[in-house]
Structure 1
Amino acid sequence: MDKILLMLQLQAGLNEATNGENWTDGITKNGKIINWRRCIYMECAEMIDSFVWKHWKNIDAQADWDNLQIEVIDVWHFIMSLAIENYSQNLKGGVEDLAINISQLNSFNKIDIQSELFAPQNDVIAKVEDIMLCTLSKDALNIEELIEDFFDLVLMSGLDLQSLYKLYVGKNILNQLRQDNGYKDGSYNKMWGAEEDNVVMKRVWEENSELKPDSLYIELTKIYHSFNK
């Protein structure tokens, strides 16, 4: 449960810094409407593009599992945000209550076991589409069911609780760097040389397992500025 709670706390902090302290009301400090459901299904669409699903194009290409895992982390940002908002608006409690309830889900026990296996491509796509259908539904949101489906996807993507946590923390740090370097006004450059910042972050984090989050921020900042002088 500790890792879940920390991720929820980090996400709440990032949302507050980015959107203002009243972000759970569904509107930013600049008056822009927040739609976490749309964020989720749009990221899910990008996730599907990690696979060779088009029958008319690049039919012999291989699935990009590294990109899939990054997209899984992106979706997790938005699912946590939606869950925190849901708990706040429905007076179900704060992040601590949410963390406790998540840790009691059946699928949570499954992701607490190390996994490095990938499910068949079509099975993963079907699970992603289950998540999309949940967020596109006009019915009342069942946030626990959505999280259950997401944890199933975590396992099918070759991830587990530890790798989900580590990649999430890395992406959270990268998101902070983006915000600090002009992401909102469009001046931030996601391409660091020939690679996207997500790819660089994942490699640096994996190759330097002893790095602390603050040190990762410093290292990524150095790399970013080396390409954007």
Structure 2
Amino acid sequence: MDKILIMLQLQNQLNDSTNGENWTKGVTKNGKVINWKRCIYMECAEMIDSFSWKHWKNIDAQPDWDNLQIEVVDVWHFIISLAIENYALNMRGGVEDLGINISNMPSFKKIDTSHDLFAAQDEVISKVESIMSIVLSKDELDLDLLISEFFDLVLMSGLDLSTLYRLYVGKNILNQFRQDHGYKEGTYVKVWNGDEDNVIMKKIWEDDSDIKPDDLYKKLSKIYLAFNKS
């Protein structure tokens, strides 16, 4: 429950900061329409590109599991944003209520154990497409099904609650770092000396799994400043 609640609180804070405190009504502080469902299915499409699914190109290429895991975390940002919005619009409660309900789901209990195995490529792609079909459906959103399918994807991607949490916190800090350094204005540089910032953030976590969020932000700042000076 604690890890889920912290992730929900961090996402709510990030959305308040970047989109304005009324973001759950579907519009940013700049008047831009928010569509979390579109964010999810577009990110899912990028996730599929972690695999050599094309029958006409790079047919022997190995899956990029590291990239897949980053994309899974990106989708999680959007799913919990959609969930918080759904709870607000339907008067189902706040992030605490959402956190309690998620932690009581049978699918949540499956990810709350140590896990690092990958599923077969076609099985993962099928699960990703199932998530896409849920958010593309014209029917009323089945939020519980969406979250349950996502937790299945977490397991299939070699992740569990602890690794999902660690990568989520890292990506949340990175997203805040991007916003603070011109991401929305288009001046932020995403590739640092040949490596995407996602990869650098993940490596920092791997080198120091106990690093605190504030220290992670400082480390990213130091690397980014050195890169921009070079």
TM over 0.5: yes
Match of 2:195 in 1: 195
Gaps of 5+ in 1: none
What TM-score does the superposition give when structure 2 sets the normalisation length?
0.99
CA distance in 1: counterparts of 2:210 and 2:22, whole angstroms? 35
**Secondary structure of 1:172's aligned partner:** helix
Match of 2:127 in 1: 127
CA distance in 1: counterparts of 2:65 and 2:126, whole angstroms? 16
Match of 2:33 in 1: 33
CA distance in 2: counterparts of 1:151 and 1:98, whole angstroms? 15
Match of 2:61 in 1: 61
Task: Read off the aligned partner of 2:193 and give its amino acid letter.
Answer: G
What TM-score does the superposition give when structure 1 sets the normalisation length?
0.99
| Deviation sequence 1:31-70 (CA, Å, 0-9, x none) | 0000000000000000000001000001111100000000
Q: Could you list the structure 1 runs, at least 4 aligned residues long, displaced by more than 6 angstroms after superposition.
A: none
Match of 1:109 in 2: 109
**Secondary structure of 1:228's aligned partner:** helix
CA distance in 2: counterparts of 1:163 and 1:210, whole angstroms? 12
Deviation, 1:152, is 0.2
Match of 2:168 in 1: 168
CA distance in 1: counterparts of 2:183 and 2:76, whole angstroms? 20
Name the count of aligned residue pairs.
229
Map 1:24-103 → 2, pairs under 5 A:
24-103=24-103
CA distance in 1: counterparts of 2:208 and 2:177, whole angstroms? 18
Task: Read off the aligned partner of 2:10 and give its amino acid letter.
Answer: L
CA distance in 1: counterparts of 2:64 and 2:22, whole angstroms? 37
CA distance in 1: counterparts of 2:100 and 2:126, whole angstroms? 28
CA distance in 1: counterparts of 2:144 and 2:52, whole angstroms? 30
Deviation, 1:224, is 1.0
CA distance in 2: counterparts of 1:60 and 1:138, whole angstroms? 37
Q: Are residue 2 (structure 1) and residue 5 (structure 2) matched?
A: no
Deviation, 1:210, is 2.3
**Secondary structure of 2:78's aligned partner:** helix
CA distance in 1: counterparts of 2:102 and 2:151, whole angstroms? 10
Deviation, 1:225, is 1.2
CA distance in 1: counterparts of 2:207 and 2:89, whole angstroms? 41
CA distance in 2: counterparts of 1:58 and 1:224, whole angstroms? 33
Task: Read off the aligned partner of 1:96 and give its amino acid letter.
Answer: E
RMSD: 0.5
Match of 2:151 in 1: 151
Deviation, 1:5, is 0.4
Match of 1:11 in 2: 11
Identity across the alignment (%): 71
CA distance in 2: counterparts of 1:69 and 1:226, whole angstroms? 27
Task: Read off the aligned partner of 1:42 and give its amino acid letter.
Answer: M
CA distance in 2: counterparts of 1:51 and 1:178, whole angstroms? 27
Task: Read off the aligned partner of 1:45 and give its amino acid letter.
Answer: A
Gaps of 5+ in 2: none
| Deviation sequence 1:155-211 (CA, Å, 0-9, x none) | 000000000000000000100110000000000000011100000000011111221
**Secondary structure of 2:46's aligned partner:** helix
CA distance in 2: counterparts of 1:110 and 1:60, whole angstroms? 32
